[in-house]
Amino acid sequence: MTRRIEFWFDMSSNYSYVSSMRIEAAAARAGVGVAWLPFLLGPIFAELGWSTSPFVLQKAKGAYVWRDMQRQCAKHGIAFRRPSDFPRKATLPMRIAAAHADEAWMPAFCQAVMAENFAHDRAMDDEALCTGLLGGLGADAATVLAQSASPEGRAALRRNTEQAQGRGIFGAPTFFVGAEMFWGDDRLDDALAWAARREFGEGES
């Protein structure tokens, strides 16, 4: 069975942005495939009694996180500009990503959307933006948008979110290698190392 890591992310999550910009190259070096799995943090936070990100609710943690983002992005050579609005809505591009999980352009689309927010301080939940990005990646934007807006397309993101809840995900990014869970961008390298040294057959962890 091909060695693989599952990358569970929310486009509104700042640390998901860091992971999204480095996971493909890091996984390639490790000889590991990547499954990109978008899900919504909002319902998970609501279950915890949070109305928004803990980085907003806890002022000291928020101040630390934005400084940490500067350090981490500088470390990895990733463009970063603190968003003036956080967390920003990303429902439309998240639906597009979830409904087109098998498309070759999906990872690059996710990276481009998140860069709009975390590198350029621009809104993500915008049809014109998504149309332009999809077209630039060679996708038929009109068809992709129509499929994403269909009942089946909208259900894909809901299913991912329900699966994330069922697997005990409590934050983003989260990585799985088989049944082994790793949480946070700072555990990406550990997750890749775990995947690289083991091959998982069906039912193994």
Under the banding of pLDDT at 50, 70 and 90, the label for residue 200 is very low
pLDDT at residue number 189: 96
What value does the mean pLDDT take over residues 157-182?
97
List pLDDT tens digits, range 88-139.
999 999 999 999 999 999 999 999 999 999 999 999 999 999 999 999 999 9
pLDDT at residue number 197: 85
Under the banding of pLDDT at 50, 70 and 90, the label for residue 205 is very low
CB atoms within 10 A of CB 83: 21
List pLDDT tens digits, range 30-81.
999 999 999 999 999 999 899 989 898 999 999 999 999 999 999 999 999 9
Say what percent of the chain tops pLDDT 90.
92
Superfamily of domain 4-197 in CATH is Glutaredoxin (3.40.30.10)
pLDDT exceeds cutoff 60 at 180:
yes
Say what percent of the chain tops pLDDT 70.
95
Average pLDDT, the chain: 94
pLDDT at residue number 90: 98
Q: Output phi, psi for 189, to 5 deg.
A: -65, -35
Q: Where are the domains of the chain?
A: 4-197
Under the banding of pLDDT at 50, 70 and 90, the label for residue 198 is low
